[in-house]
Amino acid sequence: MKVLFDHSQPFFLAHGGFQVQIEQTKLGLEAAGVSVEFVRWWDPGQNGDVIHFFGRPSVTYIGLARKKGMKIVLSELLTALGSRSASARLTQKWLIRLARRMLPSHFTDRMAWQVFELADAIVAGTQWEAHLFAEIFGAAREKIVCIENGVESAFFRDEKVVREKWLVCTATITERKRVLELAVAAVDAQVPVWVIGKPYSARDHYAQKFFAFAKLHPDLIRYEGSIEDRHRLGEIYRGARGFVLLSTMESLSLSAGEAAACGCPLLLSDLPWARSAFGQNACYCPVSSLKETARVLRTFYERVEACPPPLQPKSWPEIGEQLKRLYGALLPESPRLDLESAILPPGRGRWGK
DSSP string, 239-275: HSSEEEE--S--SS-HHHHHHHHTT--EEEES-HHHH
Residues 41 and 174 in one domain: no
Question: Which residues face 123 on adjacent strands?
Answer: 145
In a domain, 348, yes or no: no
In a domain, 42, yes or no: yes
What pLDDT, on the 0 to 100 scale, is given for residue 323?
97
Q: How many domains does the chain have?
A: 2
- Can you name the residues that pair with 74 across neighbouring β-strands? 53, 122
Asked if 201 and 299 sit in the same domain, the reply is: yes
Whether 350 is covered by a domain: the verdict is: no
Give residue-wise pLDDT tens across range 49-80: 999 999 999 999 999 999 999 999 999 999 89
Residues 208 and 265 in one domain: yes
pLDDT, the chain, mean: 90
The rounded percent of the chain whose pLDDT value lies above 70 is: 93
Query: CA torsion angle for 179, 181, 184, 188 (degrees, to 10)?
Result: -120
Same domain, 174 and 291: yes
* Res 337 pLDDT > 80: no
Domain-located, residue 349: no
Q: What is the pLDDT of residues 214-263, one digit of tens each?
A: 999 999 999 999 999 999 999 999 999 999 999 999 989 999 999 999 99
196 beta partners: 170
pLDDT of 286 reads: 94
CA distance 55 to 343: 22
- Confirm whether 351 is domain-assigned: no
pTM of the predicted model as reported, rounded to 2 decimal places: 0.87
pLDDT of residue 329: 94
Residue 143, C-beta contacts closer than 8 angstroms, at least 6 positions apart: 119, 120, 121, 122, 339
H or E stretch covering 20: helix 17-31
pLDDT at 308: 87
**Other Cβ atoms closer than 10 A to 139:** 22
What pLDDT score does 319 carry? 96
Is 347's pLDDT higher than 70? no
CA distance 213 to 124: 37
Answer yes or no: is 71 within a domain. Answer: yes
pLDDT digits (tens, 9 = 90+) for 132-150: 999 999 999 999 999 999 9
Are 162 and 292 in a shared domain? Answer: yes
Give the whole-number percent of the chain exceeding pLDDT 90. 75
Rg from Cα positions in the chain: 21
pLDDT class of 346 with cuts at 50, 70, 90: very low
Question: If pLDDT is split at 50, 70 and 90, which confidence band does 12 have?
Answer: confident
Query: What is the Cα 87 distance to its own chain's centre?
Result: 24
My answer on whether 185 and 281 are in the same domain is: yes
Instruction: Give the pLDDT band of residue 351 (cuts 50, 70, 90).
Output: very low
pLDDT attached to residue 344: 55
Which residues have CB under 8 Å from 228's CB, separation 6+?
none
Q: Tell me the sheet residues that pair with 194.
A: 168, 222
Mind giving me the DSSP string for 183-205?
HHHHHHHT--EEEE---S-TT-H
pLDDT in tens, 295-313: 999 999 999 988 888 988 9
* 326 in the same domain as 229: no
Pair 323, 186 in one domain: no
Alpha-carbon gap, residue 18 to 92, rounded angstroms = 24
Q: Is the pLDDT of residue 8 over 90?
A: no
Q: Which helix (H) or strand (E) holds 130?
A: helix 127-135
Whether 125 and 161 share a structural domain:
no
CATH of the domain at 139: 3.40.50.2000
**Paired strand residues for 245:** 268
Beta partners for residue 75, in sequence order: 54
275 compared with 159, residue with greater pLDDT: 275
Do residues 118 and 164 both lie within one domain?
A: no
Identify whether 279 is part of a domain: yes
Domain that holds residue 255: 154-306
Rounded to the nearest 5°, which phi and psi values hold at 263?
A: 75, 20
| 127 falls within a domain | yes
Alpha carbon distance 16, 9 (integer Å): 11
Q: 255: exposed, middle or buried (C-beta count within 10 Å: 0-12, 13-18, 19+)? A: buried
Whether residue 91 sits in one domain with residue 7 = yes
Domain shared by 202 and 296, yes or no: yes
CA distance 166 to 211: 18
336: pLDDT strictly greater than 80: no
335: helix, strand or coil: coil
145 - beta bridge partners? 123
Mean pLDDT of 93-112: 85
